[in-house]
Amino acid sequence: MVAGDEVARSGATGALAALAERLGCRVYGTAMHSTLVFPTDHPLWAGALPADAEQVRARLAGLHSVLLIGSRGFMTFGYRETWPVPPGLRLLHLSPAAEDIGRTYPASLGLVGDPRATLEAILPLLSGIDETETGKLIEVAREQAEQQLRRLRERARAARPGEDGRMHPLPAVEALLAALPPETMIVDEGVTNDPYVRAFHRVRRPGRFLYSRGGGLGWGLPAAMGVSLGRDREPVVAVVGDGSFLYSPQALWTAVREGLPVVAVVMNNRGYLILRRFLAEMRAPDAPRVGLDIADPGVDLVSVARGFGAGAVRVDNVPELGEAVRAALAAARPTVIEAQVTAPPVG
């Protein structure tokens, strides 16, 4: 199954988990889904689909049927000649909006309805399924999920700083999330590092993760302030890139004025890496890079944050990052942590 944001909006995460368990079926999230659509610590959670047509096709290859719940299930960024949905795949599509059915990919069966009401109506019809068999499928999925997480952690341990001496972002993100108390609210706009955040994030409660699916730099920091205000000043951790941070640093003024316990972890790779990737995908290696590097001069993000009255610290290695996150959450005041990370090669 592939779950979109409509699952969360209709309050259907519990019903979807029950359906997955009844069938022993793995569940993907749609690419860059913006909130929690399925418990990410569940053994049947397969993670978010990538926003790349070739990678999506590889994930779906060999499957007989996919139930897509939501609107745009296979959104991709960047042009690829590859069609993301393999030929012969039986696509079953449930959406609350009739215009979504078959809009981009033809469906073998289209259903219009509220996700929660529909899934809850389906569950009693599956009472005859062999629970012993589905139990075996769940155990296999659990082993696969644990192996995948172990491999990711091994990659993190093996990752070395870049030639510039900065942290590799994979172990940095692992240390960041490991430092958080269970069920900490995360607002994610670290576009380059988002796959790492999603891979390590383990929560069960709905609404503990927020992302801007359509993109739009500068959204993350003010969104974190709004989330904290809307939840009675709950602690929030915002993961943002340096480019994203510089679009709206004035959000810190609100955070300081209101005394919000928001911790912004800025993954500073000194540039707009996502834009460089777009140029590489367009096969334009000689295109001008004007404005894509935040260097010569660089920006002192710690001084920017302190100028607004927020706490701020710069960290240069992985152990320091975890310690800084724990200290900032304990202080319960607006804090910016500038994490010096290296930019992976592009194109």
First to last CA, the chain: 32
**d(C-alpha 342, C-alpha 165), whole Å:** 8
Q: Of 151, 180, 109, 160, give the one whose Cα is nearest residue 328.
A: 180
Name the band, by pLDDT with cuts 50, 70 and 90, for residue 285. Answer: low
Domains and CATH numbers, the chain: 2-141 (3.40.50.1220), 160-340 (3.40.50.970)
pLDDT at 347 over 60: no
pLDDT mean across residues, the chain: 90
Check if the beta carbon of residue 302 is closer than 8 Å to that of residue 328: no
Sheet with 65-69, side-by-side order of all strands: 45-48, 27-29, 2-3, 65-69, 90-95, 109-112
C-alpha–C-alpha distance, residues 111 and 19, integer Å: 17
Tokens at 329, concatenated: 């959450």
The count of other CB atoms within 10 Å of the CB of residue 152 is 15
Is there a contact between 69 and 29 (Cβ–Cβ < 8 Å)? no
The larger pLDDT score, comparing residue 205 to residue 265, is at: 265
**Whole-number pLDDT of residue 13:** 96
Residue-level pLDDT at 161: 87
Percentage of residues in the chain having pLDDT higher than 90: 71
Compare 32 and 292 and report the one with higher pLDDT.
32
Predicted pLDDT of residue 283: 61
Residue 345's pLDDT band (cuts 50, 70, 90):
low
Where does the pLDDT of residue 171 fall: very low under 50, low under 70, confident under 90, or very high at 90 and above?
A: very high
| C-alpha neighbours within 13 Å on the C-beta side of residue 287 | 14
Q: Strand 109-112 to strand 236-241: parallel, antiparallel, or no bridges (unpaired)? A: unpaired
Asked if the model's pLDDT at residue 289 lies above 80, the reply is no
**Residues 6 or more apart whose Cβ sits within 8 Å of residue 140:** none
Question: Does position 340 have pLDDT exceeding 90, yes or no?
Answer: yes
CA-based angle 13:15:21, to the nearest 5?
Answer: 100
Q: How confident is the model at residue 128 (pLDDT cuts 50, 70, 90)?
A: confident
Nearest C-alpha neighbor of 294 from the set 308, 315, 276: 276
Per-residue pLDDT, 288: 66
pTM score of the predicted model:
0.90
Q: In this model, does residue 286 exceed pLDDT 70?
A: no
Residue among 1, 167, 169, 163 nearest 90 (CA): 1
Kindly compute the dihedral angle of the four CA atoms of residues 219, 224, 227, 232, in this order, to the nearest 10 degrees. Answer: -150
What digits encode the pLDDT tens for the residues 219-251? 999 999 999 999 999 999 999 998 889 999 999
